[in-house]
Structure 1
Amino acid sequence: MIKNVHVLFICVVCLLLYNCDNEPYEGEIILPDNACELAMLNVSEALTSFSSASGVNYNMLCQAYKDALQNQIDICGDDGSLQTLIQDLGDCILNTENLCEDAEAATIVAQSAYENATADNFEDVCNNYKDALEYQITVCGDSDFLQDIIVQLDDCRPEFVDLIGVWTLVGWNTDMARDINNDGIVTNNYLEEIDCYTNETIEFNANGTGAFYYRSEAQITYTPNSDGSDEDFFVSCSEINESLNFTWSETINTVEIITENGIALSYLRNGNSLNIGIDDGFVATNTIDGESMIIERVIFVYVKL
């Protein structure tokens, strides 16, 4: 519908221009010409405001535009064109489902631009990415997951610590808040709930090589509550001692890694953090049937301590 607003804008401007230079619409003009001109001006102003409507103020600005159109019809008359515009606006209820899909798509485009930013355009594309995230929150609903990304982007100044050295895992950020340790408090950072993965590190060497160091591994299960409201989670943590070598390269805000077994990973670099999203980063198995699973995308966050 937002796209249609711009089409409406062009249509109404054309109608206004036409009526300024030609006879009024068919119908009885009961007020002086200056009243008709004022009504047209009000329509133009209402449309300008409506053309920038968002999910928050869409209904209000749409209704104001419809009222202005109806006022012009009452004062100036109508050949049917203005009434058609009013009918096209419907009940001024925004189709938020499609709008949300458009917002999510715009965020993906903005994120891609951010991940490929250069030193010359970094600040601009970073701010565009933040704007896209904020708009997605506005039309799709609030999300701590998206808000965390905005916070991490900070003021969009490209100031980074030296990549060389040891980075430590500090967060498992998700879009779904859960109570993994069953203490009655939900969180989007599952790592805070799991007594495991407390010393997972990435080491970057100056010669373009490095290694992941894995020192623990968790098996996570859950039992659905009888009322179907929530789940009780169980975490079993085992100590391990494994490593995975890789080669790396970096741009202004991404770190590209190729592991020794040929897997390509792209980490988003932001200030003192490295972030990567893994679609099946969180997996919990149902204890009842042993087959059903909760699988969620996780943003793994590393910082250089």
Structure 2
Amino acid sequence: MNKLLFILCFALLFTSCSVEDNNISVVGTWKLTARNVVDGFDINNDGTVDTNILNEVDCVNNETLIFETNGVVSSNKTYNPDIDIALLDGTTDDYIFNVTCDEQGIIGFATTYTQDMNTVTFNDNEFTIIGNQLSREIKESIKIYNEDFTEIVATKDLTLIYTKQ
């Protein structure tokens, strides 16, 4: 009986260590490397549809998140193009795109974050760490308007992906 109890305690201790080893630290600098949307768009009209909007827009991207050991996350370089999308009347996949790059100013912030295993939370936003990538899905973030931009006719989810530098 004592031997069985010892084996169970040892197995529990070993399992606890294994789980701890799989915990990836968020501390460091993470650069925005993808703004993915399912099915993608050909915003730059080059004939190639891409799911990563960063590959379709010529706006400067310097967005980084910096996570410190003291529980603070900050960003002072934010990628924030304004993209208006309209579906051409009578079509199901023909769009008009109006893109404005706002590169005049810097949008920055600093706040606290928490990490629970591979989940990082700040400003009520939950991110997931998988390998060297930090991702967040934003439901119905992409709004698609009718041709005269007066009514939202569809939405798409957006997934932000940051890569550890």
Q: 2:139 aligns with which of 248, 269, 279?
A: 279
1:176-191 matches, within 5 Å, as 176-191=39-54
Number of aligned pairs? 148
1:194-233 matches, within 5 Å, as 194-196=57-59, 198-225=61-88, 228=91, 229-233=93-97
| Mapped contact 1:221–1:287 kept (Cα < 8 A) | no
Give ranges in structure 2 of 5+ residues lacking alignment: 1-15
| Mapped contact 1:224–1:230 kept (Cα < 8 A) | yes
Q: Residues 295 and 214 (structure 1 numbering): CA distance in 2 closer, same or farther, change over 3 Å?
A: farther
Deviation at 1:197, TM superposition (A): 5.7
Give ranges in structure 1 of 5+ residues lacking alignment: 1-117, 123-156
Greater relative contact order (Cα < 8 A, sep 6+)? 2
| Identity score, percent | 27
1:141-156 matches, within 5 Å, as none
The 4+ residue runs of structure 1 with deviation greater than 6 A are: none
Q: What amino acid is aligned across from residue 194 of structure 1 in structure 2?
A: V
The structure that has the greater radius of gyration is 1
> Counterparts of 2:126 and 2:157 in 1: how far apart (Å)?
15
Q: 1:247 aligns with which of 90, 112, 125?
A: 112
> Counterparts of 1:269 and 1:250 in 2: how far apart (Å)?
10
Please give the TM-score of this superposition, normalised by the length of structure 2: 0.74
Deviation at 1:204, TM superposition (A): 0.8
> Counterparts of 1:119 and 1:193 in 2: how far apart (Å)?
44
Task: Name whichever structure is richer in helix by fraction.
Answer: 1
Q: Residues 275 and 289 (structure 1 numbering): CA distance in 2 closer, same or farther, change over 3 Å?
A: closer
The SS at the match of 2:139 is strand
| Mapped contact 1:181–1:234 kept (Cα < 8 A) | no
The SS at the match of 1:242 is coil
Deviation at 1:245, TM superposition (A): 1.8
Deviation at 1:294, TM superposition (A): 4.3
Deviation at 1:216, TM superposition (A): 3.9
The SS at the match of 1:267 is strand
Deviation at 1:303, TM superposition (A): 0.8
Deviation at 1:277, TM superposition (A): 0.7
| Mapped contact 2:89–2:146 kept (Cα < 8 A) | no
| Mapped contact 1:159–1:271 kept (Cα < 8 A) | no
Please give the TM-score of this superposition, normalised by the length of structure 1: 0.43
Q: What amino acid is aligned across from residue 237 of structure 1 in structure 2?
A: C
